[in-house]
Amino acid sequence: MSDSGNEKQPGLRKTRVGVVRSDAMDKTIVVEVTRRVPHPRFRKIVKKTSKFFAHDEQEEAKVGDRVLIEEGKPRSKKKCWELKEVLSH
């Protein structure tokens, strides 16, 4: 018996929208994703940021671009996201 709530459907990948903070590395960009969440104790809405290292094969994203990244196979120790598309320059 398997619990359907814990099973992952094949083909579903996480996506995030963020801003490129660095493109200095070869075929790698650093994307900063900001999310608004309530503080656990005080319930005030606060901003939390996370950095994701994403693979950019064509090196099309530049610093300041809004991009869509998608979860993929791990390419290195920190890089397991891939650039899906550049949303705005």
CA distance 56 to 36: 27
Which pLDDT does position 7 carry in this prediction? 56
**In the predicted model, what is the mean pLDDT of residues 43-64?**
97
CA distance 61 to 85: 9
Which pLDDT does position 83 carry in this prediction? 97
Decide: 27 and 58 in contact? Cβ < 8 Å. no
Residue 1: pLDDT band (50, 70, 90) is very low
Q: Look-up: residue for tokens 């960009």?
A: 29
Query: What domains are defined for the chain?
Result: 23-88 (2.40.50.140)
**In the predicted model, what is the mean pLDDT of residues 39-43?**
96
Residue type, 49: T
The two tokens of residue 46 are 């606060």
Decide: 15 and 70 in contact? Cβ < 8 Å. yes
